[in-house]
Amino acid sequence: MDEEKDALEKEQTTAEEKPRQDPYPRITGGLILILLGVLFLLATLDYLSWGDWWAYFLFGLGCILILEALVRSTSPAFREHMAGRLIGGIVLVVIGASFIFGMTNWWPLIIIAVGVVLVISTLWRPKRSD
């Protein structure tokens, strides 16, 4: 009887010691699958060209990463991976938009995106304590 009680207490303490799992990768994965499904449906229904779906995918993926970064910024427990997703999302949105709307009209956005990446990476750099 005491062995069962000890085993139960041990299971409870190990369950309490486990860190909270990050829910955002599963949500992001689900959103990516929804995006792919919508894009394939639009291409199948001839609302979208099969040759252009990838540009919309890059744009949508960038939006999902930016959304995840913004949601992570509100949760202190999962804030550590926010900057990389935000920067990656901005770059993907710029690349996708430049192909969707034509590279000749949108190439300055690439220069702006690089500038935004530099500013964001500088602002989110951990401060050293001297």
pLDDT digits (tens, 9 = 90+) for 66-119: 998 888 888 777 767 677 788 888 888 888 888 888 876 666 777 787 788 778
Q: Which long-range contacts (CB under 8 A, 24 or more apart) does 63-67 make?
A: 63/89, 63/93, 64/28, 64/31, 64/32, 64/35, 64/89, 65/28, 65/89, 65/92, 66/90, 66/93, 67/31
Residue pair 100/60 in contact by the 8 Å Cβ criterion: no
Q: Domain segments of the chain: what residues?
A: 48-125
Name the pTM for this structure: 0.67
Q: What is the pLDDT of residues 26-66, one digit of tens each?
A: 888 999 999 999 999 999 998 988 888 898 999 999 999 99
- Best CA proximity match to 109, nearest among 62, 50, 47, 75: 62
